[in-house]
Amino acid sequence: MKNFINTKCLFENLEKDHIVIVDCRFDLFDPEYGRSVYEAAHVEHAFYLDMNTDLSGEKKEHGGSRPLSDLDVFRKKLEHMGIDNDTTIVIYDEHLDGTPRLWWFLKYLGHEKVYVLNGGMRAWAQQGYPITKEIPKVIKKGKYNIKVDESIFCDRTYVKERKDLDDVILIDARAYERYTGENEPLYKKAGHIPGAINYAWKNNIENGFFKRKEALEKDFKEIMKYEEIIFYCGSGIAACVNCLALNEIGIHSKVYIGSFSDWISYEDHLIATV
């Protein structure tokens, strides 16, 4: 699995200077959850990045509820963790739902060596590997150069222009009941972007671990015929799970980071329900 590392491998390399570990646990409905569980216990040597304050920027009228963080601000946060362009970054959470956003963000910045801990904190703790409350200290500040990869990003305008083309498929990564509009716990409008199909991010996870390549290839077989694949969700988190899954099997895709929360901020945009 080219984008993943298992617990045994991480443990064996835990003391290596070229590796930086980042905890990005979060809860969609509790903004304080991630930091609180990090402070209670985390993988030894792990730093923490918050989904709402580190991996997302200021919420405005448009752009979605979790727009990208200012790139220069985020670059400095990476440097303060001792990260440079050659650093191997290992990221983890609990449910493999938050790490893909950080994985995608780092890929967007042009970072090559970034790996998701398969099984996350749960597998690490259950298998008896070292956890701590101690906050790591940076021995040497990093120097990071951003090389943005625009090919994996798209905005509302791009989605509007491309979503109905025959060789383009738009996929909603949220749970089916949110896609249909039957249940919308976060936003004032419910449903999905017209023309989108649904493939929930949780379909990529099995027993707490990301599925292997063979299973992912079988699951995504029907969409491989499209020239362009665009994922979205509510605020650009779950969509990154599907993007990671496709990257794992060698298929390129884009993420509409503003996602549904951006789409519904425009009063003239249509919304479909099933």
Domain boundaries, the chain: 4-132, 151-263
8-state DSSP, 237: S
Tell me the per-residue pLDDT of 116-160, one tens digit each, with 9 for 90 and over.
999 999 999 999 999 999 999 998 899 999 999 999 999 999 999
**C-alpha angle with apex 241: 29 to 6, nearest 5 degrees?**
105
Q: What's the alpha-carbon Rg for the chain, to the nearest Å?
A: 18
Instruction: Report the alpha-carbon distance of residue 236 to residue 16 in Å, rounded.
Output: 32
* Structure-token match 């990154």, residue found: 240
* Structure-token match 């989108």, residue found: 196
Q: Which fold has domain 151-263?
A: Oxidized Rhodanese; domain 1 (3.40.250)
| Torsion 191-192-196-202 (CA) sign | negative
Q: What CATH superfamily is the domain 4-132?
A: Rhodanese-like domain (3.40.250.10)
- The answer to whether the pTM exceeds 0.75 is yes
Tell me the per-residue pLDDT of 213-229, one tens digit each, with 9 for 90 and over.
999 999 999 999 999 99
Tell me the per-residue pLDDT of 217-263, one tens digit each, with 9 for 90 and over.
999 999 999 999 999 999 999 999 999 999 999 999 999 999 999 99
Query: 78, 84, 63, 76: which is closest to 24 by C-alpha?
Result: 78
Same fold, 4-132 and 151-263: yes
Task: Write the CA distances from 146 to 73, 106, 114, 257, integer angstroms.
Answer: 12, 9, 15, 19
CB 114 within 8 A of CB 89: yes
3-state secondary structure of 235: coil
